[in-house]
Amino acid sequence: MSDLKNSDPETTGPENNDPVPEAVAPRRRGWSGPIFGLGVVLTLTCGLAFGARGYTMRQDQVAATAAHDRDLVPSVRVATVKASGDESVVTLPATTSAFAAANIFARASGYIDKRNVDIGDRVKAGELLAEITAPELDHQIAQAQATLAQNQAALHQAQANMELANVTNQRDTPLVKDGWVTKQQGDTDRLTLQAQQAAVGVAQANIVAQQALLQVLNQQKAYQSVVAPFDGVITQRNIDVGSLVQADTTTGTFMFTIMQADVIRTQVYVPQDEAFGVEPGIEAVIRVPELPGRTFPGKVTRIADAIQPDTRTLLTEVDVPNKDGALRPGTYGTVELHIPRKTPSLLVPAEAVVFNSQGVHVALIADGAVQLRKVSIARDLGTQVELSDGVKAGDEVVLNPSVDLAQGRKVQVRPETEAKPAVS
C-alpha cells in the first residue's frame, strides 16, 4: 500500500512533502510553452485570414456597386416642350370707374326752391335737378333792361343831332366858299358834326356794354335751373329744399355728383414684359369676385404710350358696356387681357427647370442620353415656365432630374407618367 501511494502522481507533491520524480517535472514544463505559442500563432493567422477575406469582400462589393451604377439605366419622367400660342393671356387686378363723372356746383346764389332728384336716381341729359330762387337777381335784370332802354334812347337822340349837324354843315359849306358865311362858321359846323358822330359812337358802345351785362344776368338766371349735363345716376347729394347756396368759382356750394355708368372705364397697369403687345382694340374680359360665373367682355380703348419709370407698367384703359348696370364704379376686379405675342416662347413644366451654381438649365433626352442645356426664363407662370432660348418645340425634358444626372448619361423614359403641360 505504501508503494502505491508513493507511485500515485496526484498524491505526491509539496503538500505531502514527498519528493517528485525527476523524470516527471521536466516533462510538464516542456509542453506548456509550445502549446501557448502555437495558439497565438493560430489566432493571428485566423485574424489575418478573416481580415483579408473581409477586405476582399468589401472591395468586391464596391466594384460590383460601381459596375451596377455604371451599367444601370435609370428610368425618368419626361415632358414635351410646347410652343406658346399666338396670344398671351394675362390676368391683372383692376378698378372700375364711371365713363364720365361730374361734381355739380351752384352757379347762382340763392335758396333751393325745388329738388327733384336724390341719391340713386337715374337722370337724362338736360333733366331739371334743382331750382334756385333769387329775387334780387330778378331786380338786377329789370334794372339792366331799363338802363338798356335809356342807352337806346340816348343813341336815337345822338343820331338825330348828328343828322342835324350834317345837314347844317352841307348847307354852309358852299356859302363859305362864296363868302356868304364866315370861315369861322364853317369850322363850327364841321366840328359840331364830328362831335355828334362821336356821341353816336359812345351811345352805341353804351348799348353794347349794357347788353353784355344783361346777358350775364340772364345767364345767372338760367343757372337757377340746375340740369343734368349727361345721362347718368346721382351718386351724391349735398342740398335740400331751403338750403342756401353760393355761386363762387372757388367756394361755390357743392350740390350733386352724377356718374355715367352705362359704359364702365377700367384702368389696369400692364407690366413691361407684356406692354409691348398692348394696343387699342385687343380683347379683354372683366371678372368681379362678387359676381361669380359672369364675365364682362370689353376692349382696350386707350393706352398711355409711356412706361411709368417707377413701376415699369403701362397704364391701359378698357371700356366695358354696362347697359344693365351690373358693374358699379369703384369695384375691384380682374382684367384678363388677350395680348398678341410679339416674340414666340416655349413652355415647360416648372419642375423641369434646375437652378444651381452653373445657372439655369434643363435636362433634355436625345438618343436615349441626357443633354444639359442652359436656358433663359422669359416668364414664370407658376406651374409652367416660359423659356426664350435653349430648347425647341418637341424636345423632351426630364422632370425633377436627380443631382447625379450627368451629361451623356443613358436613361430610359417612363411613358405612362409623361407630363403634358397646359397651354397658356
Walk along the chain (424 residues) and give the pLDDT tens digit of each residue: 334 444 444 444 444 444 544 444 444 455 566 676 777 777 777 777 777 777 777 776 766 665 555 556 677 888 888 887 777 888 999 999 999 999 999 988 899 999 999 999 999 999 999 999 988 888 899 999 999 999 999 999 999 989 888 888 888 788 878 778 788 887 788 888 899 899 999 999 999 999 999 998 898 888 899 999 999 999 999 999 999 998 876 778 999 999 998 899 999 999 887 888 888 999 999 999 999 889 999 999 999 989 999 999 999 999 999 988 889 899 999 999 988 877 777 888 888 888 887 788 888 888 878 888 888 887 787 888 888 788 888 888 888 888 777 777 787 787 654 444 444 4
What was the pLDDT predicted at 419?
45
Same domain, 59 and 79: no
Task: Look at residue 373 and tell me if it is in a domain.
Answer: yes
Task: Look at residue 1 and tell me if it is in a domain.
Answer: no
Q: Are strands 354-356 and 359-366 parallel, antiparallel or unpaired?
A: antiparallel
Same domain, 79 and 143: no
Residues 6+ apart with CB under 8 A from 66: none
Same domain, 54 and 80: no
Determine the residue type at 95: T
Q: Three-state SS for 308?
A: strand
Same domain, 391 and 408: yes
Q: How far is it, in rounded angstroms, from Cα 38 to Cα 423?
A: 82
CB-based contacts of 282-286 (< 8 A; 24+ apart in sequence) = 282/337, 282/338, 282/339, 282/340, 283/337, 283/338, 284/318, 284/320, 284/335, 284/336, 284/337, 284/338, 285/335, 285/336, 285/338, 286/94, 286/96, 286/318, 286/320, 286/327, 286/333, 286/334, 286/335, 286/336
Task: Look at residue 143 and tell me if it is in a domain.
Answer: yes
pTM exceeds 0.75? no
Point out the domain boundary residue: 223, 240, 262: 223
Q: Grid coordinates standing for 276?
A: 409691348
Q: How far is it, in rounded angstroms, from Cα 307 to Cα 148?
A: 59
Determine the residue type at 259: M
Same domain, 146 and 215: yes
What was the pLDDT predicted at 180?
81
Answer for the pair 398, 418: CB distance below 8 angstroms, yes or no: no
Domain with 360 in it: what CATH number?
A: 2.40.420.20
Q: How far is it, in rounded angstroms, from Cα 287 to Cα 269?
A: 16
Q: How far is it, in rounded angstroms, from Cα 382 to Cα 366?
A: 27
What's phi and psi for 381, nearest 5 deg? -100, 15
Same domain, 28 and 79: no
Same domain, 362 and 409: yes
What was the pLDDT predicted at 60?
66
Task: Look at residue 368 and tell me if it is in a domain.
Answer: yes
Determine the residue type at 325: G
Same domain, 80 and 50: no
Task: Look at residue 203 and tell me if it is in a domain.
Answer: yes
Same domain, 192 and 152: yes
What was the pLDDT predicted at 118?
94
Same domain, 359 and 385: yes
CA atoms within 13 A on the CB side of 107: 14
Answer for the pair 345, 388: CB distance below 8 angstroms, yes or no: yes
**Which helix (DSSP H) or strand (DSSP E) does residue 245 occupy?**
strand 244-245
The number of folded domains in the chain is 3
Task: Look at residue 210 and tell me if it is in a domain.
Answer: yes
Task: Look at residue 272 and tell me if it is in a domain.
Answer: no
Task: Look at residue 253 and tell me if it is in a domain.
Answer: no
Same domain, 139 and 80: no
Q: What angle do CA 334, 337, 342 make, to 5 degrees?
A: 150
Point out the domain boundary residue: 172, 205, 223: 223
Same domain, 42 and 27: yes
Domain region containing 172: 135-223
Q: How far is it, in rounded angstroms, from Cα 283 to Cα 318?
A: 9
